[in-house]
Amino acid sequence: MFSIRLSAVAICVTAVVALTACSSTPKDETAGWSPNKIYSEARDERNNGNFDKAISLYEKLEGRAAGTPLAQQAQLEKAHAYYKANEQAQALAVLDRFMRLHPASPAMDYALYLKGLVNFNDNLGLFGSLVQQDLSERDQNAAKTSFESFREVITRFPDSKYAADSRERMTYTVNSLAQYEVHVARYYYKRGAYLAAINRAQSAVTDYPNAPALEEALSLLELSYDALGMTQLRDDTRRVMQASFPKGNAANGDAPGSNKPWWKVW
């Protein structure tokens, strides 16, 4: 009799635990929704700045509408929601997956453009905080990846509505990369590391010959050569600078100690 009672108690306890578990399982509010309703709600949440909620809904939509254009749209809008939420890594992961799964998608120009935007914002963060960090340790991968994405937009989709903005952002990125090299060269020059300054200034001259930072790069080259007693290279650089910028500020000695904001690249 005692063992029977124990068994009955055990059964009751198990039943109570099971019921409790069932009652604590979150209810899926989208269970009876159509794919179009989920999409509409996800867009509303995204437009209202509720990015976590929007991302969750887009993920549900991907499953419900798998294999349809709506599922592809959900992937792109989920990437955009991650981007707006400053979750760059997640946004890039979604975009890379989209481009791998749908290489012929008519929305490929937007996917590339959005990938460029995600890295472009990371690029701005990089350049915006340079003055507070050891410049020799900075990484320019985000800026370069951004540039490549925008270039692919204008190369593969020259008539895309995203092409014009892609060109403008490419120009900004190139100017920023050149200014970055000059800023690092100035960093080294002020610390007496003249060979390192020469290497970085030469990179700016060689890789970004049409950028506004070229004038200061040449000036830093001249000053660094002079500091090392390399008079022939100093004089050659001076002739190039004077021919290229006969009325330039850098030629008058303003470059390394200039108070002009380094990030103002136009």
HEC sequence for 166-203: HHHHHHHHHHHHHHHHHHHHHHHHHCCCHHHHHHHHHH
Q: What average pLDDT is seen over the chain?
A: 83
CA end-to-end distance (rounded Å), the chain: 92
Q: Domain boundaries in the chain?
A: 38-93
Q: Is a pLDDT exceeding 90 seen at residue 1? A: no
89 φ/ψ angles, rounded to the nearest 5 degrees: -60, -40
pLDDT one-digit tens code per residue, 32-84: 899 999 999 999 999 999 999 999 999 999 999 999 999 999 999 999 999 99
Lookup: tokens for 177: 């990369």
Q: Is the CB of residue 262 less than 8 Å from the CB of residue 179?
A: yes
Share of the chain above pLDDT 70, in %: 76
pLDDT in the model for residue 198: 97
Q: Is the dihedral of CA 75, 79, 45, 55 positive or negative?
A: positive
- Cβ neighbours of residue 143 under 8 Å, at least 6 residues apart? 119, 120, 123, 126, 127, 173, 176, 177, 180
pLDDT one-digit tens code per residue, 168-188: 999 998 998 898 899 999 999
pLDDT in the model for residue 247: 75
Q: Is a pLDDT exceeding 80 seen at residue 2? A: no
